[in-house]
Amino acid sequence: MANESVLVIGGGVAGVSSALKLAENGFQVYLVERGPIIGGQAAVFCCKATETCSQCSVCLVPEKILEVAANSQISLVVNSEVVGISGGIGDFKVDLLQKPGFVDPEKCIACGICTELCPCEPQKGIYLPFPETAPRTYIIDKNQCLRFKGAECNVCQDNCPAGAIDFEQKPKELEVSAVIVATGFEVFDAREKGLLGYGRYSNVLTGLDLERIFATGDSVTLPSSGECPRNIAFIQCVGSRDEYIGNGYCSQVCCKYAMRFAKLLQYQNPEAKVTIFYIDLQTAGKGFGEFYKECKETIRFVRGIPVEVCKLSPNELEVKYEDLTKGKITKESYDLVVLSVGTAPRKDSWDLARVLGINLGDYGFFDTQDTLDSSRTNVNGIFLAGTCQGPRDIPESIAHGIQAASKVIQTLTARAI
């Protein structure tokens, strides 16, 4: 069993946790990630601490990424996807399609010269997405880089002291004993809920937008005017608990992140008024009760989900909802509306399901074969980890990743006897 290798597909926090546990127990791990760096969705999220830690767990992600970077048993295969698989448990043969990544992670020393010299303004065409990337490499942003807009810019390539910027890379084939699928989730696209105004009104943001704004260290301002928001509404369950759009499940993270953001916004501006519109507040979990109690002191909680958001003036939005205490449709004005978007299954899960021959279950998450084992698929030797199997927060994704690693080791141990 020693020296056997395992393929982990998806470098989010779940896949990373599986990879680390397998590597720590002596396995060779190929961590295949479609994007240029690992970390997944939560890698670009923000710390939600005010004066005290709000236990959002986001800080666990960079910590895990650094551990992967330091672990020589894990080979990172970035910019790659699995396009074929044959064989079975003990000897899977996996075909990978690797897209050119332009910056060679093996050579990049993360000195930052390229970003400094890149002529794109204000957003650079090459940068380090966040401080704790693994591989520790700068990446080219195709939406910004002039080369992808037809220009013949070569500034970064010519000036890179390590000669790391390069356009040629080759396809790969791997041989592995087992596979863990940890391809994660998609954040629900709030545009699908057209009446709530996302994408039409600049002052309607999503939870994901807030994550990104806070993660850059900035404070949140009104996109329309640049002013500090004073009256903010959060609308819960956008894209969750909604059978009509096919998402008849609770996303399990949005109530908690909304309350943490609300506190953070009030920490930034103690004058700010925050209202949270909800169906049921999900406050279960160790230690969260205390936090909820604090929230009740400064945040207004309103039962009921608004049906529509309209624009009154550039800086004023109108939220229309049914006031349950009066039984009447009520209108209130806010300067910022945040939609608490949740976890949706990846639309491309279907492609991977077909390549690997594994089943999709309720709502489009991967299905488990054994009702008592949420990591087991219908194919012996292929396991599931994290949010690709169903909604989870970060600590639960980590635990699920470790569970998948544990099942792999157990299955391979049984084969070895």
Ligand X SMILES: Cc1cc2nc3c(=O)[nH]c(=O)nc-3n(C[C@H](O)[C@H](O)[C@H](O)COP(=O)(O)OP(=O)(O)OC[C@H]3O[C@@H](n4cnc5c(N)ncnc54)[C@H](O)[C@@H]3O)c2cc1C
Task: Pick the binder of ligand SF4 from 82, 232, 237, 398 (CB under 6 A).
Answer: 237
Q: Which is nearer to ligand X, 64 or 376 (CB)?
A: 64
- Interaction partner, residue 236 (other proteins, ligand X, ligand SF4, none; CB < 5-8 Å by kind): ligand SF4
Query: Tokens 């609300």 sit at which residue?
Result: 262
Residue 37's region, left for phi above 0, alpha for psi from -120 to 50, else beta, is beta
Residues 120-139 that bind other proteins (CB under 8 A): 136
For every residue of 92-146, DSSP letters joined together read EEEEEEE---SB-TTT-----HHHHH----SS-SEE-SSTT-SS---EE-TTT-G
Any contact of residue 236 with ligand SF4 (CB under 6 A)? yes
Stretch that binds ligand SF4, among 51-59, 91-99, 236-244, 374-382 (CB under 6 A): 236-244
Q: State the nearest-atom distance from the C-beta of 340 to ligand SF4, in Å.
A: 5
Site for ligand X in 200-259 (CB under 6 A): 207-208, 211, 253, 257
The interface with ligand SF4 within residues 277-336 (CB under 6 A) comprises: 279-280, 282
Residues 307 and 321: beta-carbon distance below 8 Å: yes
Residue 341 Cβ vs ligand SF4, minimum distance, rounded to whole Å? 9
Which entry of other proteins, ligand SF4, ligand X, none binds 326, CB below 5 to 8 A by partner kind? other proteins
Give the separation between CA 67 and CA 69, rounded to whole angstroms: 5
DSSP H or E run through 414? helix 394-416
Using CA atoms, how far apart are residues 328 and 331, in angstroms rounded to an integer? 10
**Rounded CA gap, 338 and 238, in Å?**
10
Residue 406, interface with other proteins (CB under 8 A)? Answer: yes
CA distance 125 to 191: 27
Smaller CB distance to other proteins: residue 71 or 269? 71
325 binds, among ligand SF4, other proteins, ligand X, none (CB under 5 to 8 A by kind): other proteins
DSSP for residue 307: S
Which of positions 145-164 make contact with other proteins (CB under 8 A)? 160-162
* 337 touches ligand SF4 (CB under 6 A): no
- 18, containing H or E segment: helix 13-24
Question: Please, which residue, 44 or 250, has the CB nearer to ligand SF4?
Answer: 250
First to last CA, the chain: 9
Q: Pairing state of beta strands 273-278 and 231-238? A: parallel
Q: Does residue 252 bind ligand SF4 (CB under 6 A)?
A: yes
Residue 206 in contact with ligand SF4, rule: CB under 6 A: no
Query: Dihedrals φ, ψ of 45, to 5°?
Result: -85, 170
Q: Quick check: 368 binds ligand SF4 (CB under 6 A)?
A: no
List binders of other proteins among 56-75 (CB under 8 A): 57, 60, 63, 66, 70
